[in-house]
Amino acid sequence: MREVPLQTEVKSAKRIKVSSLAKTRKRSDYFWAYLMIAPTMLGLIIFYLWPIVQNFYFSFTEWGAFGQYEWTGLDNYKRLLEDAALLKAFKNTSIYIIFTVPIGIFLSIIVAVLLNQNIKGKSIYRTLYFLPVITMPAAIAMVWKWMYNADYGMFNYLLSLVGIDGPQWVSDPNIALYSIIAVAIWSGIGYNMVIFLSGLQGIPKMYYEAAEIDGAGPVTVFFKITLPLLSPVIFFVTIMSLIGAFQVFDLIFMMIGKSSTALESTQSIVYLFYQHAFVLNDKGYAAAIAVLLLAVILIITAIQMVLQKKWVHYD
């Protein structure tokens, strides 16, 4: 009877000793960890977090010339509610997202699966698909703009050979947005492909061997093994592509001229933001647009985080 409490006493004494030791060690570990990430954190705070705070503050102000501003309370947000151009920009951006994200992901999975096979010259193909990613977006936009040119462009020349009078790819308000979407998909495949390739290579071979023994065909293998095991990667790529697509700007800026008749039907939220911030010098309102965009992206990403439990398999 006496031994038992004694034992527990010893045990608890030991535990106290161990835990206080762990605490001091933990504390010094934390210290070094924080010290190591301090340079990065500082950069993050100075260049990302602080501007976000400032932007939030500026969204309640109205700007004059050369950096003077005054507090106007909720005026900018009231304007947001009745701005038809903003609504149109949201619509354009939504169309852009609905097409580029799913089609882009679908195509890059296909390309990644194909290039994951043992085919001849696969590194050459991988390089070719990755090339647009390391090319400057501005250069991509310029080259495509030339190809799209209605009078002298390559596409309309090819169409004219078969007797078709090609459209004005980037000036026709009904087509321009889709022309941009095509370029966006084309230039985005390579980046996603590389991530999917690494995901594919992380799937253990034994599943495929087991499937082969059980007599599963390639289609069944793809849908029952590859896709579920790739789902964490698909989830990651979806989130990143969505955020990227919400912020589309460069392609539109480069390919659609300022006096183009197609500008209204292509301008994205960020384009509108740019227009107010740097062309009309309406920086307060631009800040409010940026806050709204941040909120929308946060909400959509949060929804994805909740939904992922239903379809993402972590082994």
d(CA 288, CA 17): 55
With contacts defined by CB under 8 A, how many residues of the chain interact with another protein?
Answer: 29
Q: Which is nearer to another protein, 43 or 73 (CB)?
A: 43
Chosen residue from 170, 189, 245, 272 binding another protein by CB under 8 A: 170
Give bridge partners of residue 69 from the DSSP assignment. Answer: 63
How big is the CA angle at 25 (ends 23 and 30), to the nearest 5 degrees? 90
Residue with tokens 């609504």: 87
Residue 259 binding another protein, by CB under 8 A: yes
Binding region for another protein (CB under 8 A) out of 18-26, 130-138, 182-190, 278-286: 278-286
- Which span (7-15, 30-38, 120-128, 219-227) binds another protein, by CB under 8 A? 30-38
Per CB under 8 A, 46 contacts another protein: yes
Q: Shortest distance, CB of residue 23 to another protein, whole angstroms?
A: 16
Q: Is 50 in the site for another protein (CB under 8 A)?
A: no
Give the C-alpha separation, 294 to 151, whole Å. 40
Cα separation values, 269 from 92, 179, 273, Å: 8, 18, 6
Query: Binder to another protein among 280, 295, 302, 303 (CB under 8 A)?
Result: 280
Residue 151 within binding range of another protein, rule CB under 8 A: yes
State yes or no: residue 257 binds another protein (CB under 8 A).
yes
Residue 24 binds to another protein (criterion: CB under 8 A)? no
281: left (phi over 0), alpha (psi -120 to 50) or beta: left
**Contact between 287 and another protein per CB under 8 A:** no
Q: Is 27 in the site for another protein (CB under 8 A)?
A: no
Per CB under 8 A, 42 contacts another protein: yes
Which residue in the set 4, 35, 119, 213 belongs to the binding site for another protein (CB under 8 A)? Answer: 35
- Interaction site with another protein (CB under 8 A): 31, 35, 38-39, 42-43, 46, 65-67, 149-152, 168, 170-172, 257-263, 278-281
